[in-house]
Amino acid sequence: MTPDPHTYLSPVLDALEQRWPENRTVCIACHGHSVPAGYFATPYVDTLHAYPQQLLAMVKERFPFAVVNVVTTAIGGETAVEGAARFTTDVLSLRPDVVTIDYGLNDRYCDLSAAWEAWKSMIAAAQRAGVKPILLTPSWDISYYEKNADWDALCAHAQQIRSLAAETEAGLCDVFRVFERYIEAGGALADLLSHQNHPGQLGHRLIAQAIGAFFPAR
């Protein structure tokens, strides 16, 4: 069972509510591949419109007295296997309060079991360190139009991430379902993409809003 987004980060929200001089810096690390890294139409990187910065703006609007750092530890082209190998040195060394993990789009090119083990190791390391992990299912790409093997693999990894969140009681941000709802409501996938496999500004905004559900205003 996955935790309720509105209460999952309660201790973090308590810290965000504190005012000077009792407050402290709250750190959110966004770990993953090219999407959180801010790649739009490769090699163009639009940092300020990528979801980590949109999330920062959202959290600051809701918690105006908070000192917040949103740090991007993502590397374009990585899979979770590579991200897990540097998780301690590049992510936990920052002593974040929250870490988002976003590798599903690239993980379809590695074995499901290898991805499972890599995700599980990152989740376990975060939880041992007292860091709250939020797992992101993948955003969509143009394989949706063809419903080919790439699309089938994307669906399989999305489901595996949901299962991981349920098993480990980590936070789940179901980006895959957010994009699906947009299409079901009559929107076009082209509205959400800037490139064949990267979200554009609207796609990133929807992702930021979905993560933002874990940071409700008080």
Quote the CA–CA distance of 133 and 113 in Å, as a whole number.
20
Domain spans in the chain, listed from the N-terminal domain onward? 5-102+124-212
The HSE-up count of residue 65 (CA atoms within 13 Å, CB side) is: 13
Strands, E assignment, the chain: 25-32, 67-72, 98-102, 132-136, 171-173
Q: What is the pLDDT of residues 130-173, one digit of tens each?
A: 999 999 999 999 999 999 999 999 999 999 999 999 999 999 99
* pTM higher than 0.85: yes
Structural contact between residues 83 and 103, judged by C-beta atoms closer than 8 angstroms: yes
Contacts of 4 (CB under 8 A, 6+ apart): none
Residue-level pLDDT at 212 = 98
The CATH number of domain 5-102+124-212 is 3.40.50.1110: yes
- Span 181-203, average pLDDT: 97
Cβ-based burial of 137 (10 A; exposed 0-12, middle 13-18, buried ≥19): buried
Distance from the first to the final alpha carbon of the chain: 25
